Structure 1
């Protein structure tokens, strides 16, 4: 792992982005960074209301920050001191020092890259990453939105002053609106803007590029009607969850319209869009639902909403079709439980990529323009897994973009030089040591064993393990509870860092290694379950299946395999359960009957709430 923690970028803007909202015409001027050469677009906007609302919503996502901030009680403490109350000068000075330190850290966190503007032959797009690094948005405008469009293709950064969002809000949509985004030359006699040096943290690059890499993975996809999104936002606005879980749960059954379930109230929202076209039922749990409020402004323009869900800890993509415009919002899963994202990012790193394949695919995109995965895979002799890994690698380097809305790959240079994937491979030194313990290369490899995996119904999963650290010449025994939202509770470990500070400084490398080992084991087990060889290794297992009737009541089936015994419990979730116990002569017969019962339930529209949960 490199000792550097930042990537230096110099930004040169000749002018400042501005909006001139006049009585007879409005002009939007966007200043672009000039080191990338000639890049720009200009034209008259055909639908000013859509342009204004889409641009304002995207800039709102850029400025959003949902991180918790404590209240500033300095003035109150000063008041208490004047009144002779128990508020000493030491408390006052300590709080002032704490606030100054917090603000200093906040200013450093804001030193990130400006939004990325890309002009392609068929569209112009704007990519933003929120201040709290929890939301990514890509807004694209088709050529049909502009009259008299003139463009110079390429990618560069966009200058966004603090008051640009307020100025965009003041655009009058009943007067002509024109857009001009270009690398302007300084006006003669005017004072030129000094270059701005930005030290971009590798953690920011890791989060931004993780979204790009995640977009290339297969996903469970459903389509909602605009009224479904309205109902969801209305329900969230009128309720506030005071306890966990706080997930937005999707219940997907092939041939039926999706259902949205809001936890912890178990409020069921019936959807009105197309029926789910997946091959198997699934329960998908997503988090970060409050961030969906950023889409409210676009509801009057929405023609359809598509949701793509990847897996635990991975981003969830919301694609809003707005006619000549499209907004893709990715809600990441690591803002509140950052260290759990180690398992998610581990799944995004391509394994073995043939030499030269990534470069070959990127050059083809440059020559032929946007292409689908199937088109790219058909043009090479490499297996599809290798092609997907190479495209993931190019996304992590910032040289290729996957357009979720169109389902195509596009060339897009994030930086003038490609990002070294080794630099963002690990989030911190502890994560790097955790991978060493797993034997992922480097000296001093260790051994990680999962000694106990206990599923606690309605609470989470309790993990215990043994980590053999050959570098420390001893073993450690970490353990923790992974709740339904992916957060860690009741953690313990015998290593010196945990004994010194507990979880205040984050998890130790032994906990991270245990979390990674559990994620890898679960992925392997789910893959083996689809093969006869893998099923033959299962001797004891329990699965729960649920289905809602027309009245919204849940029917639950719980099927268990234990050697030669198959146990079945079924009935309404809140009602009396019926029981059945079936004994067989051999383990093989019991296993065959067990999986036959699971397949029968899936065919009847029951959803696997354990293995199918995401």
Structure 2
């Protein structure tokens, strides 16, 4: 990764963070970066057990890395050489050199920003982003957790040495505990400045996950026992084949259900009923990352889940009284190019001149404010205000506090991040957007020529990409499996012929993936309008509803010209059939959509959305 793709940051820590555990009292000493002005906090902790477990869980998210790592076979090759087996010194030296180069590049890739600590008038918060760029956590402590609280408001970076997690873990909860977080801790060893070059890809993931918090979502509430049941089921089972999703089934007026695939294990929730207006089913992936919440279960009072949609982040908000942990999980643990289409919707539209600065200044002067309060005093339409707030989130100057439902000022960097720099995850993704005509010279043309649904495997997508810079057309093809990842792919471009998918997909595949996602979104939006429905002459939809006994009732409704066919019954039982003929296509279409709306009002869920 070249210097041009990195953001240089100089970190000046006067001392190092540490934990002092004594028999009469304990202190957690957090060293803060000193170039951002006076920021700090001091106070005695009222609930040491809650403070210890919450801080340890958050630092655990920071250190987590679930990326696949290959095995080191150099020791085995050396053993074979001693035994006189077929393992030459050249093979051993070559593999050793390869591993040394891989580890060096891995260390460069793992260069990330230190956690961000923000002291507000009403709380102090800590933000972390995992090393595999798939989990974001924000831990907030209210003022009620501290006695004798003394604070200097602002945002800065926090020093977290590797041994700090173990030291926090060894704190004794029966001993009085105090917290000191400021620039110059007493009697500590001075340290030299440290230069960090943060990859733009890391900044992009960190800020776009925050920006995603402003998008509309389906929200449900779980009881702590529901989360315990989920974590217990994941711990005692291991899926050896796809799909490996955690599926949420949300029906208005009914408690939410969580379904673990591929076992179809149904977990009933007990907190409250779903209050949405329409049934919904959302599949999420990377569920093993939820193990980070296990330590906080004894302190949890309630758990709220915000589901943005397939491929978008999922937010888990754990309320622990004076402390709140917000855990955001990206669509997949491996945030590869399959999620490029999902993150594409996070970029804001055009923002009126001066609106972003006006909103930011108001937040700095008045403190945390809800979206409705900001709209009331902005003098601009809601869409413009939302786009301006989303833009400021991408610049790192404000954040959306999901737990409180309010925007807060927070300066991630001394200077705002240029959103144009983190617009794309790679050069190939930027060229893919150029092919789609999203700005820049050399716009091309991208067509989805065929979509083939392969039962039990996924969706095979064929396309044609006209690349005017290359003065030729390419015909990419790939298969999205049931978890939204690429299973098979091919393209005639030089990049794919040279390396296949070993170096990632070519720009033509990314462009086709984006075009397919946009086409599906446009078709679904058009389908909800009377004008769009007029063009539908043949269609089949399946709706399912899970009864209290656990059995699923399935309705299959088909429209074919003047005919409406209905098939219904239990999933594993005999089905009943009905055919209705009408005088005109319009009458049949009206009856078809009326039947679908009736099923939705009765709590049936569109089964097609469950496979997205």
Bin for the TM-score computed over the shorter chain: over 0.9
Deviations 1:42-71, CA, capped at 9 Å, x for gaps: 100000000000000001111111111122
- Whole-Å separation in 1 of the counterparts to 2:272 and 2:600: 20
Q: How does 1:477-516 map to 2 (within 5 A)?
A: 477-516=475-514
User: Do 1:248 and 1:286's aligned partners in 2 also have CA atoms closer than 8 Å?
Assistant: yes
For residue 133 of structure 2, give the secondary structure of its aligned residue in structure 1.
Answer: coil
Please state how far the C-alpha of 1:185 moved relative to its aligned partner. Answer: 6.5
State the partner residue of 1:226.
224
State the partner residue of 1:571.
569
State the partner residue of 1:606.
604
Deviations 1:15-53, CA, capped at 9 Å, x for gaps: 100000111100010000000000001100000000000
For residue 424 of structure 2, give the secondary structure of its aligned residue in structure 1.
Answer: coil
State the partner residue of 2:32.
32
Stretch deviating more after TM superposition (561-570 or 293-302): 561-570
Q: Does 2:275 align with 1:274?
A: no
User: Do 1:543 and 1:611's aligned partners in 2 also have CA atoms closer than 8 Å?
Assistant: no
Please state how far the C-alpha of 1:577 moved relative to its aligned partner. Answer: 2.8
State the partner residue of 2:118.
118
User: Do 2:31 and 2:185's aligned partners in 1 also have CA atoms closer than 8 Å?
Assistant: no
User: Do 1:337 and 1:487's aligned partners in 2 also have CA atoms closer than 8 Å?
Assistant: no
Q: Does 2:352 align with 1:354?
A: yes
State the partner residue of 2:47.
47
Please state how far the C-alpha of 1:237 moved relative to its aligned partner. Answer: 0.3
- Whole-Å separation in 1 of the counterparts to 2:65 and 2:487: 25
Deviations 1:149-198, CA, capped at 9 Å, x for gaps: 000000000000010010001111101000000011685xx763110000
For residue 371 of structure 1, give the secondary structure of its aligned residue in structure 2.
Answer: coil
- Whole-Å separation in 1 of the counterparts to 2:64 and 2:488: 32
Q: Does 2:591 align with 1:555?
A: no
- Whole-Å separation in 2 of the counterparts to 1:539 and 1:88: 68
State the partner residue of 1:19.
19
For residue 202 of structure 2, give the secondary structure of its aligned residue in structure 1.
Answer: helix
- Whole-Å separation in 2 of the counterparts to 1:281 and 1:316: 18
For residue 35 of structure 2, give the secondary structure of its aligned residue in structure 1.
Answer: coil
* Number of residue pairs matched by the alignment: 611
- Whole-Å separation in 2 of the counterparts to 1:204 and 1:217: 21
| TM superposition score normalised by structure 2 | 0.98
- Moved runs in structure 1, 4+ residues, more than 4 A? none
State the partner residue of 2:6.
6
State the partner residue of 2:85.
85
- Whole-Å separation in 2 of the counterparts to 1:496 and 1:238: 46
Q: How does 1:141-290 map to 2 (within 5 A)?
A: 141-184=141-184, 192-290=190-288
For residue 97 of structure 1, give the secondary structure of its aligned residue in structure 2.
Answer: helix
Deviations 1:402-448, CA, capped at 9 Å, x for gaps: 00100000000000000000000111111111101101111111111
- Whole-Å separation in 2 of the counterparts to 1:611 and 1:83: 58
- Whole-Å separation in 2 of the counterparts to 1:305 and 1:369: 26
State the partner residue of 2:62.
62
Deviations 1:214-250, CA, capped at 9 Å, x for gaps: 0010100000000000000000000000000000001
- Whole-Å separation in 1 of the counterparts to 2:201 and 2:401: 23
- Whole-Å separation in 1 of the counterparts to 2:574 and 2:94: 58
Stretch deviating more after TM superposition (83-92 or 291-300): 83-92
CA RMSD, 1 decimal: 1.5
- Whole-Å separation in 2 of the counterparts to 1:254 and 1:207: 33
State the partner residue of 1:434.
432
Q: 1:63 to 1:237 in 2, by over 3 A?
A: same
Deviations 1:275-306, CA, capped at 9 Å, x for gaps: 00000001110111101001000000000000
Stretch deviating more after TM superposition (242-251 or 73-82): 73-82
State the partner residue of 1:320.
318
Stretch deviating more after TM superposition (328-337 or 16-25): 328-337
- Whole-Å separation in 1 of the counterparts to 2:335 and 2:110: 20
Please state how far the C-alpha of 1:3 moved relative to its aligned partner. Answer: 8.3
For residue 4 of structure 1, give the secondary structure of its aligned residue in structure 2.
Answer: helix
- Whole-Å separation in 1 of the counterparts to 2:77 and 2:3: 42
Deviations 1:550-600, CA, capped at 9 Å, x for gaps: 110111112222322222222222223333333322221111111101011
User: Do 1:282 and 1:609's aligned partners in 2 also have CA atoms closer than 8 Å?
Assistant: no
Please state how far the C-alpha of 1:538 moved relative to its aligned partner. Answer: 2.1
For residue 568 of structure 2, give the secondary structure of its aligned residue in structure 1.
Answer: strand
Q: How does 1:357-436 map to 2 (within 5 A)?
A: 357-436=355-434
For residue 206 of structure 1, give the secondary structure of its aligned residue in structure 2.
Answer: helix
Please state how far the C-alpha of 1:102 moved relative to its aligned partner. Answer: 2.0
Deviations 1:258-287, CA, capped at 9 Å, x for gaps: 111000000011111110000000111011
- Whole-Å separation in 1 of the counterparts to 2:542 and 2:335: 27
- Whole-Å separation in 1 of the counterparts to 2:321 and 2:291: 21
User: Do 2:16 and 2:189's aligned partners in 1 also have CA atoms closer than 8 Å?
Assistant: no
User: Do 1:32 and 1:159's aligned partners in 2 also have CA atoms closer than 8 Å?
Assistant: yes
Stretch deviating more after TM superposition (44-53 or 69-78): 69-78
- Whole-Å separation in 1 of the counterparts to 2:599 and 2:229: 31
Deviations 1:489-542, CA, capped at 9 Å, x for gaps: 221211121122211111111111111111111122222222211222222222
Structure 1 gaps of 5+ residues are none
For residue 608 of structure 2, give the secondary structure of its aligned residue in structure 1.
Answer: coil
State the partner residue of 1:521.
519
Q: 1:562 to 1:611 in 2, by over 3 A?
A: farther
Alignment match of 1:580 (pick from 578, 581, 591)? 578
- Whole-Å separation in 2 of the counterparts to 1:335 and 1:424: 20
User: Do 2:307 and 2:314's aligned partners in 1 also have CA atoms closer than 8 Å?
Assistant: yes
- Whole-Å separation in 1 of the counterparts to 2:498 and 2:560: 43
Q: 1:233 to 1:445 in 2, by over 3 A?
A: same
- Whole-Å separation in 1 of the counterparts to 2:347 and 2:378: 21
User: Do 1:14 and 1:186's aligned partners in 2 also have CA atoms closer than 8 Å?
Assistant: no
- Whole-Å separation in 1 of the counterparts to 2:362 and 2:525: 33
Q: Does 2:341 align with 1:343?
A: yes
Alignment match of 1:311 (pick from 302, 309, 312)? 309
- Whole-Å separation in 1 of the counterparts to 2:185 and 2:253: 57
- Whole-Å separation in 1 of the counterparts to 2:386 and 2:554: 38
User: Do 1:337 and 1:486's aligned partners in 2 also have CA atoms closer than 8 Å?
Assistant: no
For residue 35 of structure 1, give the secondary structure of its aligned residue in structure 2.
Answer: helix
State the partner residue of 1:103.
103
State the partner residue of 1:135.
135
- Whole-Å separation in 2 of the counterparts to 1:93 and 1:544: 59
For residue 326 of structure 2, give the secondary structure of its aligned residue in structure 1.
Answer: strand
Stretch deviating more after TM superposition (122-131 or 546-555): 546-555
- Whole-Å separation in 1 of the counterparts to 2:309 and 2:22: 48
